[in-house]
């Protein structure tokens, strides 16, 4: 999906936040990323 389409959808849905990620993390790197994410949510 090109950037312009992402922005159009975000405006249409009145989004406050766009979260994007890759799907290349596996194993320990994935676990550490999830732990860091949980810490930031608190």
Predicted pLDDT of residue 21: 72
Predicted pLDDT of residue 40: 53
Asked if 1 and 10 count as a contact pair (C-beta separation under 8 A), the reply is no
Number of domains the chain is built from: 1
CA 15 from centroid of its chain's CA atoms: 13
Predicted pLDDT of residue 42: 47
Asked if 32 and 20 count as a contact pair (C-beta separation under 8 A), the reply is no
Domain that includes residue 9, residue range:
3-41
- Tokens coding 17: 């936040």
Tens digit of each residue's pLDDT (9 = 90 or more) over 1-42: 688 999 999 999 999 988 877 666 666 666 666 555 544 554
| Residue closest to 19 by CA, chosen among 36, 37, 42, 39 | 37
């Amino acid at each position: 999906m090109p950037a312009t389409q992402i922005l159009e959808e975000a405006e249409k849905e009145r989004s406050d936040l766009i979260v994007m990620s890759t799907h290349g993390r596996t194993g320990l790197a994935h676990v550490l990323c999830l732990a860091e994410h949980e810490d930031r949510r608190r």
